[in-house]
Structure 1
């Protein structure tokens, strides 16, 4: 569905859910995933429905992924880097005990 018009930058490698993929340097994570044929980035924490980027400008939060171990990153706002480990999010974020105080 999505494809690059032409290669205009150096190609780099990254991983999505453990699968090696290629991207063009300077692309966002969302653009690199879409151009690689990835159609589902996460599932809704409420219904489990598949989600993918909608706005590609940081407004909708449908493109949330885990990047290098950090959850809830907006893939449309993060530039892809060589060796980056991107993972889909299929659950609500887990909070660690003792990190939130209700005083």
Structure 2
């Protein structure tokens, strides 16, 4: 992935919602009510969503409904959360992860 994703393609179109901020890998990202953590990470853009457990291949959400487990991230210090199933909340701290994390990380995934 290069550059930020186009948020309009990733969320329901609602003109009356008020955006709020979360952090993804320590950087602020604007999201809207109804957006999932996976959408927040995709909106952050930049690097791959996560890395595979075996082979370090770049991975990204596939199904966006909790079946494929390609959206695993750390949310507020809790690893291996399915980003597509977790609603984004103001102030949430999201960290991309490499493979399956055994526990909380101190900083962003490399």
TM-score between both structures, scaled by the size of structure 2:
0.76
Structure 2 gap segments, 5+ residues each = 104-110
Q: Structure 1 2/55 Cα, relative in aligned 2: closer, same or farther at 3 Å? A: farther
CA drift of 1:7 comes to 4.6
Q: Deviations over 1:51-103 (max 9, x none)?
A: 110000000000000000000000000000001000011143227xxxxxxxx
Residue aligning to 1:48: 56
Consecutive aligned runs of 4 or more in structure 1 exceeding 6 Å deviation? none
Q: Distance in 2 between matches of 1:29 and 1:92?
A: 17
Structure 1 gap segments, 5+ residues each = 96-103
SS of the equivalent of 2:42 reads helix
State the structure with more CA Rg. Answer: 1
Aligned residue pair count: 95
